[in-house]
Chain A
Amino acid sequence: MSDEAKKSDKATLRIWRGNAEGGEFKEYEVGTYPGMVVLDAIHDVQAEHAPDLAVRWNCKAGRCGSCSAEINGKPRLLCMTRMSHFEPGQPITVTPMKTFPIVKDLVTDVSHNFRVAKRIPPFKPRPRDADGHWRMQQIDIDRIQEFRKCIECFLCQDVCHVLRDHDKHDSFAGPRFMIHLATLDMHPLDTVDRRPMMKEELGIGYCNITRCCTEVCPEHITITDNGIIPLKERVADDFFDPVRWLMRKISPPANKKSLPVLPDPIKATTKTKKKQDAEA
Chain B
Amino acid sequence: MTTDDKFETHEHDVLIIGAGGAGLRAAIEASSMGVSVGLVCKSLLGKAHTVMAEGGVAAALGNVEPKDGWKVHFRDTMKGGRYLNQWRMAQLHAMEAPDRVNELEEWGALFDRTADGRILQRNFGGHKYPRLAHVGDRTGLEMIRTLQQHGIHLGMSVYMECTVTRLLGDDNRVSGAFGYWRETGKFVIFKARTVVLATGGIGRAFKINSNSWECTGDGQALAYLLGAELMDCEFMQFHPTGMVWPPSVRGTLITEGVRGEGGTLRNKDGKRIMFDYIPELYAKDTAPTEEEADRWLEESAKGTGKSRRTPDLLPRDIVARAIHSEVKAGRGSPHGGVFLDIHSRRSAADIKRKLPAMYHQFKELGDVDITRESMEVGPTAHYTMGGIRVDPETQETRVKGLFAAGECAAGMHGANRLGDNSLSDLLVFGRIAGHHAAKLAKATSQKSVDAGQIEACEREALAPFEREEGRNPFQVREDLMNQMQKYVGIMRNEGDLQAGVVELERLAADAGKCAVSGNRHFNAGWHETVDLRNLLVVSEAMARAALVRKESRGAHAREDFPDQDKGHWSQVNLVVRKGSAGMEVEQVPLPPLPDEIKQVLEEE
Using a CB–CB cutoff of 8 Å, the interface residues on chain A facing chain B are 3, 19, 33-37, 40, 46-47, 51-66, 80, 82, 103-105, 107, 110, 114, 117-118, 122-123, 125, 132-138, 141, 144-145, 148-152, 184, 187, 190, 270-271, 274
Contact = CB atoms under 8 A, between A and B. Distances in A.
Interface string B216-252: 0000000000000000000000000000011111001
Interface of B: 43-49, 51-52, 102, 105-108, 110, 112-113, 116-118, 135-136, 138, 141-142, 145, 149-150, 152-153, 160, 183, 212-214, 245-249, 252-253, 349, 352-353, 357, 360-361, 364-366, 472-475, 478, 516-519, 521-526, 528
A47 B474 contact: yes
Given A35-B365, A122-B150, 13 more contacts: A35-B249, A35-B366, A51-B517, A55-B524, A58-B51, A63-B138, A66-B44, A107-B183, A110-B44, A114-B44, A145-B135, A145-B136, A270-B352
A137 B323 CA distance: 40
A51 B248 contact: no
B296 to A, nearest CB: 24
Given A35-B245, A135-B116, A141-B110, A46 B524 contact: yes
Contact of B518 (A51, A82, A103, A145): A51
In order of increasing CB-CB distance, the 5 nearest A-B pairs are A35-B246, A51-B525, A52-B518, A135-B117, A54-B522
14 contacts: A35-B248, A47-B478, A51-B474, A51-B526, A52-B517, A54-B521, A58-B213, A61-B249, A82-B365, A104-B521, A135-B118, A144-B110, A148-B141, A190-B108
Contacts of B106: 125
Q: Main secondary structure on chain A at its contact with chain B? A: loop
A59 B213 CA distance: 7
Nearest to A43: B474
Given A3-B246, A122-B108, A148-B142, A60 B212 contact: yes
A32 to B, nearest CB: 10
B248 A56 contact: no
Contacts of B247: 33-36
Nearest to B349: A270
Nearest to B53: A63
Contact of B43 (A47, A66, A138, A270): A66
Contact of B47 (A19, A62, A64, A141): A64
Contacts of B523: 51-52, 54
A40 B519 CA distance: 23
Contacts of B524: 46, 51-55
A144 B523 CA distance: 39
A56 B44 contact: yes
A118 B157 CA distance: 12
Contacts of B153: 118, 122
Q: Quick one: which of A34, A52, A55 has the most chain B CB within 10 A?
A: A52
Given A117-B152, A122-B149, A134 B116 contact: no
B214 A58 contact: yes
Nearest to A67: B47
A63 B135 contact: no
Nearest to B250: A35
A125 B102 CA distance: 12
B135 A134 contact: no
A133 B247 CA distance: 46
A122 B106 CA distance: 11
Contacts of A136: 110, 113, 117
Nearest to A7: B247
A54 B523 CA distance: 6
Nearest to A66: B47
A104 B212 CA distance: 22
A91 to B, nearest CB: 20
A55 B519 CA distance: 15
Contact of B522 (A107, A118, A123): A107
Contact of B183 (A53, A65, A103, A125): A103
A138 B102 CA distance: 17
B49 A58 contact: yes
A137 B113 contact: yes
A134 B109 CA distance: 12
A137 B518 contact: no
A104 B149 CA distance: 28
Contacts of B361: 61-62
Q: Quick one: which of B107, B113, B142, B525 has the most chain A CB within 10 A?
A: B113
Given A66-B44, A187-B110, A40 B145 contact: no
